[in-house]
Amino acid sequence: MSRIGKKPVALPNGVSASISGQSIEVKGPKGTRNFTATDDVTLSLEDGAVKVTPRGTSKRARQQWGMARSMVENLVTGVTSGFKKELEIQGVGYRAAMAGNVLKLSLGYSHEVNFQVPAGVTVVSPKPTEIVVEGIDQQLVGQVAANIREWKRPEPYKGKGIRYKDEFVFRKEGKKK
């Protein structure tokens, strides 16, 4: 039995869900998101909560049970509070600034990096050394943050680069004489 799948996903005030077949659409204060479940699970709306049940006892049905419930919970979280990833920039002369829909990064290259922000995500730079990525789609927020970080990953000797706010960078000792 899936411990995650057994729990129904409660719908808070201001959030509505509509189920048609295998797809669910969740509307909330931040927007609308939808998800289509596989044929291995059944989605139902009971007592102001979304319940996911498996169709059978096969291994795939049990796998999809917990995964589908987690996806529905992420839809509800996205339309109520949204998702957020915070990045830090460390290094002398490294900085970020927003110019319209483009994130301009100075990362020690001979040129400035221009990162085009995709639709559905908002990127702000409250300080020159901080970047905040927010949106209602958890996958898209994480992917945009990973794409920004990919331009200059933190290196292990001085720790320079773009890192997640709570990320630990293992430091190495340099060469000795």
Q: Please report the beta strands in the chain, taking only residues with DSSP state E, as ranges in sequence order.
A: 9-10, 16-20, 23-28, 31-36, 41-46, 49-54, 83-90, 95-99, 102-106, 113-116, 121-124, 130-135, 161-164
Residues 23 and 56 in one domain: yes
Residues 55 and 103 in one domain: no
Residues 122 and 57 in one domain: no
Contacts of 15 (CB under 8 A, 6+ apart): 26, 27, 28, 29, 76, 79, 80
Residues 89 and 71 in one domain: no
Instruction: Choose one of 29, 60, 80: the last residue of a domain.
Output: 80
Residues 73 and 126 in one domain: no
- Domain encompassing residue 71: 3-80
Residues 75 and 87 in one domain: no
Structural domain includes residue 143 = yes
Residues 54 and 115 in one domain: no
Read off the CATH number of the domain in which 71 is found: 3.90.930.12
Based on the structure, what is the number of domains in the chain?
A: 2
Instruction: Choose one of 40, 55, 80: the last residue of a domain.
Output: 80
Structural domain includes residue 40 = yes
Residues 126 and 69 in one domain: no
Residues 106 and 143 in one domain: yes
For position 92, what pLDDT does the model report?
92
Per-residue pLDDT of the chain (177 residues; tens, 9 = 90+): 678 888 999 999 999 999 998 999 999 999 999 999 999 999 999 888 999 999 988 999 988 999 999 999 999 999 999 999 999 999 999 999 999 999 999 999 999 999 999 999 999 999 999 999 999 999 999 999 999 999 999 999 998 999 999 999 999 998 887
d(CA 5, CA 70): 8
Helix, strand counts (H, E) of the chain: 3, 13
Structural domain includes residue 134 = yes
Output the pTM of the full model: 0.87
Structural domain includes residue 114 = yes
